[in-house]
Amino acid sequence: MDEPLTPNPSHERSARGGADSDAALDAALRAALTHDPPGFDPKAHYRRIREGIAGAGLRRWRDGWARWRELRARAWVPAVSFGLGAACAAVLILALRAGMPQPPEVIEPLSQVLPDGPPAGVVLQVRFRDDIALSTLRASLRAVDAEVIGGPSALGIWRIRVPSEAEERSLRTLAADPAVLQVQPEP
């Protein structure tokens, strides 16, 4: 057994010397592993590693905290400020809008509200042309001193009230009007 004991790959170990050379190699390795290399202090080595890890962890923690403080200063404060500003603007707009007078709704009723008492006058049914303007319709009604009490219905019939003493004159005037297709007293 003059050959030196050096570790070989496992495929060479089994091919060269068999079980005896493996046992000798294992014994040599165990002997080498029980002694530290010259000039190596394991406790000092582990102490340096532990200090490096602890220092890196503490630095990482401090850097992370500083990064979060910076993000908070850069992101959260402006976001909260924007939200509060938007809320204040909304309240201000609602307060100003509530104090402003609303424009009146323009509703132009074509019929008037019926009075509480008995109707004074005669009710006529009038059918106007479909293509007349509202101003022409009003002029025709003004000519006979009539007021609209209903209409137009689904058939286009308007119910108007004229004074009782002017019923015949109103019928003739409306029948002669080119805007009127049909006029008759209400049954």
| 163: CATH | 3.30.70.80
Read off the pLDDT of residues 89-138 as tens digits, 9 standing for 90 and up.
999 998 888 877 777 777 666 655 555 655 678 888 999 988 888 888 88
Q: Which of 13-17, 18-22, 75-79, 156-160 has the lowest mean pLDDT?
A: 13-17
Is 26 domain-assigned? Answer: yes
Do 46 and 21 share a structural domain? no
* Phi, psi of 151, deg, nearest 5: 125, 170
Q: What is the pLDDT of residue 153?
A: 84
Q: What is the pLDDT of residue 105?
A: 74
User: Are the CB atoms for 124 and 184 separated by under 8 Å?
Assistant: yes
Is 7 domain-assigned? Answer: yes
Do 131 and 91 share a structural domain? no
Do 75 and 28 share a structural domain? no
What domain range includes position 30? 1-35
Do 71 and 49 share a structural domain? yes
Do 48 and 12 share a structural domain? no
Do 132 and 177 share a structural domain? yes
Do 42 and 22 share a structural domain? no
SS3 148: strand
Strands 157-162 and 122-128: antiparallel
Mean pLDDT of 139-161: 87
Do 165 and 153 share a structural domain? yes
- Dihedral of CA 56/58/63/67: which sign? positive
Q: What is the pLDDT of residue 110?
A: 61
Q: What is the pLDDT of residue 40?
A: 75
Number of structural domains in the chain: 3
Do 167 and 145 share a structural domain? yes
Do 129 and 179 share a structural domain? yes
Is 3 domain-assigned? Answer: yes
Q: What is the pLDDT of residue 112?
A: 57
Residue count (the chain): 187
Do 85 and 73 share a structural domain? yes
Is 112 domain-assigned? Answer: no
Read off the pLDDT of residues 35-78 as tens digits, 9 standing for 90 and up.
666 777 778 888 887 777 766 666 776 777 777 777 777 776 77
Is 108 domain-assigned? Answer: no
Is 104 domain-assigned? Answer: no
Mean pLDDT of 177-181: 90
